[in-house]
Amino acid sequence: MLKIPISCSNASYDVLVGSGLLTHSGNLVTKIVSPGRCAIVTDSNVEKHYLKPVLTSLKNVGFKPLTLVVPSGERSKSFRHVRSLCHSMITAGLDRKSVLFSLGGGVIGDLSGFVAAIFHRGIPFVQLPTTVTAQVDSSVGGKTGVNVAAGKNLIGAFHQPQLVITDPSTLDTLPNREYWEGFAEIVKHAIIRDVAMLEILSPERSKDLGALIARNITIKSALISSDERDEKGLRTLLNFGHTIGHGIETAAGYGALLHGEAISLGIIAALWLSVRFSGLQRSELERVIGVLHRLSLPITLPNKISTGSILTAMRKDKKFEQGKLRFVLTHRLGSAYLSAEVSLQDTHAAIEFLRKL
């Protein structure tokens, strides 16, 4: 088992990484919180694979779990499901001392984390991530939220987990598309902090991603520890590729493109802008395009997603501040910085570039 400590201004916790940890989740959690009433939020896909071992483990140490299952997919990140989950928890008698367990990918983590943040003004929260995206990125850092028609994650709260239990063996049941989309976040981390990772990303599915997951969490930990609430610009570097990527994801319609698929396109656009504004070598852009393509991630924007709809979605994104667009760019792979010099016209050109690949 690998342990990565996370230290923020208002919370400190550990990320535990190791195959088979899910079946020991009860024992691991009792070191942090006392057993009692709890809720497990999961989705209809994860339920059939991993709910039973988690329930057994929690019950064995004295927890009394309430199971709450939502449909799989991005559409579950909605106020409708927030209301439903809160109502079920209230009806079942959960209170401010109860614990909420999030068992699933990024959608479940964001949704249940937001519920944990607002239920009785905040209850303890434990992440049990089961996808690549969640394990290398979204389960850590305390960002929670739901989508609305205007954009992705526009309603949310910061609410750090008490513990993150990452079991890479859960990735074995992911379909190929859901498996590879998570690697967009790994490529992002390589671009902003650890370019050597690009050389070890194989197009073959790995039997043990534990060390790679820990390497990515360490990168994220360093950025969020010094800028927990994204106020200094350091944590913003984690948004590399997300400015246009989120716009594409929203414009396509939630679920049409998986998060990582949209971010893959956003990464290419951000690199193209970096060539134009930051002196990034064109060969470096082409290098990353080759890596993304090798990992079965999209590199071409479908014509059915209009540039206008992407720009409209971007204008409502959190990355606009006082009418100005913030972009994360890179001078060279392995580092990144926040730029305010990219205009909407430049963004339009970057989106059009994605159609030519």
The gap from C-alpha 155 to its chain's centroid, in whole angstroms, comes to 15
User: What tokens were used for 79?
Assistant: 């106020």
Name the residue with tokens 């954009």: 151
CA distances (Å), origin 237, targets 62, 315, 340: 42, 19, 13
Give which of 287, 288, 279, 269 is closest to 332, Cα–Cα.
279
CA distances (Å), origin 315, targets 236, 311, 340, 354: 17, 6, 15, 19
Tell which CATH classification among 3.40.50.1970, 3.20.20.80, 2.60.120.200, 3.40.50.2000 matches the domain 2-173.
3.40.50.1970
d(CA 43, CA 107): 9
Q: Tell me the catalytic residues.
A: 121, 143, 185, 220, 231, 235, 239, 242, 246, 259
Burial class (CB in 10 A: 0-12, 13-18, 19+), 262: buried
Question: pLDDT digit of tens for each residue in the chain (357 aa)?
Answer: 999 999 988 789 999 999 999 999 999 999 999 999 999 999 999 999 999 999 999 999 999 999 999 999 999 999 999 999 999 999 999 999 999 999 999 999 999 999 999 999 999 999 999 999 999 999 999 999 999 988 889 999 999 999 999 999 999 999 999 999 999 999 999 999 999 999 999 999 998 899 999 999 999 999 998 888 887 888 999 999 999 999 999 999 988 999 999 999 999 999 999 999 999 999 999 999 999 999 999 999 999 999 999 999 998 876 666 667 889 999 999 999 999 999 999 999 999 999 998
User: What tokens were used for 299?
Assistant: 């590199």
Q: What's residue 175's pLDDT?
A: 96
d(CA 45, CA 47): 5
Beta strands in the chain (DSSP E): 2-7, 12-17, 37-43, 64-70, 99-104, 125-129, 143-148, 151-158, 163-166, 320-321, 324-325, 327-329, 337-339
CATH superfamily of 176-353: Dehydroquinate synthase-like - alpha domain (1.20.1090.10)
Q: What's residue 254's pLDDT?
A: 83
CB-side neighbour CA atoms (13 Å) of 252: 21
Q: What's residue 106's pLDDT?
A: 97
Domain ranges of the chain: 2-173, 176-353
Q: How many CB atoms lie within 10 A of CB 154?
A: 15
